[in-house]
Amino acid sequence: MPMSPLQKRASDIVAELTPALSGFHKEIWSYSESAWREYRSVKLYVDALREEGFTVEEGSGDMPTAFHATWGDEGPEIGMYAEYDATPGYCQDVATERRPREGLHQWAPGFTDAHSALGVAALAGAIATKRTLQESGKKGRIHLFGEPAEKVCGSKAVHAAKGYYDTLDAAIAYHPYWHNTALWDITNNLYWSAVFTFQCPENEPWGVPFFESNNVGAHNLVRSPGAIDAMTMMIQTTKVTKENMFPSTGSWTLNEAILGASTATADNLAPRITQIQFSWRSPLIDIQEQILSILKNNARHVAGITNTEVTMRWVTKTRPGLPNHTLTDALYENLSELGAPVFDGKVVEFANELETALGLEPSEQPFLQETMSLVTPQDNDADVRFNLPPWQECTGADDYTEYSWHAPTVRFFTARPFLNQLGIDLWHWANNALNGLPEAIDPCWERGGQTIAATAIQLIEQPELIEAASRRDVLGPGELD
């Protein structure tokens, strides 16, 4: 079914917004703030939305860098969201050499999977939907959420738990990627993350005095192994037990990050505190609980060996995604009419310079073929499923899945350019360099914004579509047809 005049108008408004929002994107890209630290980025969004006439709650869900923007007071309630957190350790300038942005260390944060573009697409989609409704007199309520810390799947579980999604009639989840498609049956995994804190309150571990005189000096006393040993043992113990957590199937993962330690000098005193974060994803709750049980057991034993006390604090727990074929069909029709993003001119020249810098032969068409074409949700699903065991219904991780438990939700992608000769090395510095080049990244988020706006307008124009999507939404993942 071709897009309606209002859908086309919404799409046109996104195109009209692109020159101004290109500068907005460049500013977000230049900030490259990592999870829970996106203070300048969120201010930019809040100011822009208020100027456009949205009502904005800052710090929604008691998260300082989150927001909830609304416009309209009646009609279907459509949810969409912006992300804006960068990836630690991936600072890359727009350059044909591996070089951090000016004034920054190479291991500072930078954008890999282009959350900068994700957020601007949602902003463009929200503004275009709002202006189209204003012009037409149609009734609808837009919810644009600012979702920080996606790299740790941080905010959406909080927004969900605190009821922010409860009134939504439908939600549109978008992400820049290497192809143009939408999810069908295969969605994203459960993702759990927790911080283990080891603290050492007592310097002396065993309570046995080996010397009677203080003249021997503190450096000769037996001390507790302490928090640093606890942290290192926790890492090693978890590595040893990892292969026995669950069979090597289901593409489950377990990763760790050292958050910090209090010891500033290498003195003969017991290190007092260390923190380590573990994050794990899998397609089944039983796997998640098994991994958690082993982590807790490891932590208890390590604490006993090192004379430390251990506590655990949750960062997040997300649910697997629920697919919705009705919304997916509708959105993909809109994406098909709009077409894949087009990358030519300056971006091709820059890509050829990157190829030369990498010692590769410059190519006439330097980008992955999938960036320039559409892939049906069914074909994409079949391609993903080829690498999965038959029982597995989800893979990867993203906290957009929380929306799908509260409203019919569709998840789609538009492509940004990736160098074909780099193959599946998607986060290579040369690919990341393209994130800050307007000619490379603007077509990606513009198409994403147009698809969001066109789909939001369609849902408002066709309440029967929401009704049909809602009927399917209450069924289990295997019962959608």
Residue 71's pLDDT is: 99
Lowest mean pLDDT among 288-292, 331-335, 414-418, 469-473: 469-473
Token pair belonging to 399: 């906290």
The CATH fold of domain 190-317: Alpha-Beta Plaits (3.30.70)
Q: Does residue 476 carry a pLDDT above 60?
A: no
The SS3 of residue 370 is: helix
CB 234 within 8 A of CB 311: no
Q: Please list, in sequence order, all residues whose beta carbon lies within 8 angstroms of the beta carbon of residue 226, skipping any fewer than 6 positions away.
A: 200, 270, 271, 272, 306, 307, 308
- The CA distance from 273 to 295, in Å, is 18
Q: In percent, how much of the chain has pLDDT > 70?
A: 94
pLDDT at 263 over 90: no
Average pLDDT over residues 277-286: 97
Task: Give the pLDDT band of residue 324 (cuts 50, 70, 90).
Answer: very high
Confidence of residue 207 (pLDDT cuts 50, 70, 90): low
Q: pLDDT higher for 405 or 208?
A: 405
For position 481, what pLDDT does the model report? 39
3-state class (DSSP) for residue 313: strand
Q: What are phi and psi of 468, to 5 degrees?
A: -65, -40
pLDDT of res. 472? 57
Looking up tokens 């999938």 gives 370
Q: What is the pLDDT of residue 475?
A: 46
Q: What is the pLDDT of residue 209?
A: 65
Mean pLDDT of the chain: 94
Task: Find the helix or strand (DSSP H, E) in which 11 lies.
Answer: helix 5-31
Write down the architecture of domain 5-188+320-479 according to CATH: 3-Layer(aba) Sandwich (3.40)
CA dihedral (294, 297, 301, 307) positive or negative: positive
pLDDT tens, position by position, 336-351: 999 999 999 999 999 9
For 91-121, what is each residue's pLDDT tens digit? 999 999 999 999 999 999 999 999 999 999 9
**pLDDT number for residue 477:** 45
Q: Is the pLDDT of residue 267 over 90?
A: no
Percentage of residues in the chain with pLDDT exceeding 90? 88
pLDDT value of residue 278:
98
pLDDT on residue 224: 85
Confidence class for position 247, pLDDT limits 50, 70, 90: confident
Q: What is the mean pLDDT of residues 301-317?
A: 97
Which is higher by pLDDT, 471 or 274? 274
Kindly report which listed range (214-228, 351-365, 395-409, 462-476) carries the lowest average pLDDT score: 214-228
Residue 26 has pLDDT above 70, yes or no: yes
> What's 36's DSSP letter?
T
- C-alpha 242/C-alpha 190 separation (Å) is 18
Kindly report which listed range (36-45, 72-81, 181-190, 217-226) carries the lowest average pLDDT score: 217-226
What is the structure's pLDDT at 478?
43
Confidence of residue 210 (pLDDT cuts 50, 70, 90): low
Q: How many other CB atoms sit within 10 Å of the CB of residue 96?
A: 17
Tell me: pLDDT of 217 over 90: no
**This prediction's pTM:** 0.94
Q: What is the pLDDT of residues 124-180, one digit of tens each?
A: 999 999 999 999 999 999 999 999 999 999 999 999 999 999 999 999 999 999 999
The structural domains of the chain, with segments of one domain joined by +, span 5-188+320-479, 190-317
Q: How far apart are CA 318 and CA 403, in angstroms?
A: 10
pLDDT score for 264: 63
The answer to whether residues 146 and 374 touch, using CB atoms and an 8 Å cutoff, is no
Instruction: Render pLDDT for 388-397 as a digit per residue (tens, 0 to 9).
Output: 999 999 999 9
- Under the banding of pLDDT at 50, 70 and 90, the label for residue 411 is very high
- Encode 112-141: b = buried (16+ Cβ within 10 Å), e = exposed: bbbbbbbbbbbbbbbbbbbbbbeebebebb
State pLDDT tens for residues 30-76: 999 999 999 999 999 999 999 999 999 999 999 999 999 999 999 99
Helix (H) or strand (E) holding 176: strand 170-177
Tell me the two tokens of residue 272: 């007092």
